[in-house]
Amino acid sequence: MKKILALVLSLVLLMACVSVASAAGKVGVAMPTQSLQRWNQDGANMKAQLEAAGYEVDLQYANNEVATQVSQIENMILNEVNVLVVASIDGSALGTVLTQAKEAGIPVIAYDRLLTDTDAVDYYTTFDNYKVGQIQGQYIVDKFDLANTDKTYTIEFTAGSPDDNNAGLFFAGAYDTVKPYLDNGKLVCVSGQLDFATVATPAWKSETAQARMDNILSAYYADALTGGQTLDICLCSNDSTALGVTNSLVAAGYTTENIPVITGQDCDIANTKNMVKGLQAMSVFKDTRTLAEQTVKMVSSILAGETPELNGEYDNGVKQVASFNCTPVFADVSNYESLLVESGYYTAEQLAE
């Protein structure tokens, strides 16, 4: 009799576990690429936090190939995921497959990159990306005391990928912040390259940013190190482009003594090391753990039939997409240890030379 009771109890517990697992559901997570450090971290954080919350996770990286990402999302739909979380390669290129998700009744969360030109997106989790650019621009304003100085400084811009909706927001936030000083002549862009289309960096590739900066240096600042036209500021939208620009400058002979002030974003390991060495001035820290946590909360609310926590909205060209915006923060050599090491984002060993 005791054996029968024990067996019944085991079956009840097993059924309860199955019920909980079934209730939690399956989440498809589509990431753009593993070639950039930040997306590896985003994917890892997302998977870990979703699994800790009891969800089954299908995490896929698309190697920056839109067709691959479309195929991966199609397979997730066929495998009947309950929610899709999509960090797109090209936010405007997924309309057809997202319509398939909508028709299948699968809610879609755009992750960090807005899905545009479609009504088949339900929510958006991101950082305040215009503010990212504002932080970079304000750093330049403060660093050179542009509100009070009578001096003139030179500046060159390097923006992100033209197929990434965020890239335009980063650039706009930075450009709008420094524009008054371009207008009054305290900042001068010697190359004249000021529009987003010209300064954009396809796929955010460091080597592309490096090649473009090579051309700018040779065309406009060739004698900068021998008493000619100097370059004071390189306003870069993120760390992969900043790394390319830094590599170009170092190859041209710049050192920590005379390298321009370089901005960035993401606090990648290589760039944080450059900040410590004095080769990069600052980076904007977007804690991917925070973004993943907020996305997991949103998934849980959706599957519980509740309205997620929201604090903004974005026009994607077809609809206003309700969003939650996390807050980016400023990082430089003075505070990177508290932000990155003491918080557990990196270990001291990871940032050691």
Give residue 24's pLDDT band: very low, low, confident or very high (50, 70, 90): confident
Q: Please name the residue that has the structure tokens 């909980």.
A: 20
Give residue 288's pLDDT band: very low, low, confident or very high (50, 70, 90): confident
Q: What is the pLDDT of residue 332?
A: 96
> For 91-145, how does the pLDDT look when each residue is reduced to its tens digit (9 = 90+)?
999 999 999 999 999 999 999 999 999 999 999 999 999 999 999 999 999 999 9
Q: Please name the residue that has the structure tokens 């901005």.
A: 263
Above 90 in pLDDT, residue 260?
yes
Q: What is the pLDDT of residue 12?
A: 39
Structural tokens at position 145: 């005391």
Structural tokens at position 12: 């009840």
Closest CA to 25 of 75, 100, 79: 79
> For 317-337, how does the pLDDT look when each residue is reduced to its tens digit (9 = 90+)?
999 999 999 999 999 999 999
Q: Class for domain 2-121+287-327, per CATH?
A: alpha beta
Q: What is the pLDDT of residue 9?
A: 41
pTM for the full model?
A: 0.83
Please give the share of the chain, as a percent, with pLDDT higher than 90. Answer: 88
Strands (E), the chain: 26-31, 56-61, 83-86, 108-111, 123-127, 153-158, 187-188, 233-236, 261-262, 283-285, 312-315, 320-326, 329-331
Q: CATH 3.40.50.2300 region(s) of the chain?
A: 2-121+287-327, 129-285
What homologous superfamily does CATH list for 129-285? Response regulator (3.40.50.2300)
Give me the amino acid identity at 302.
I
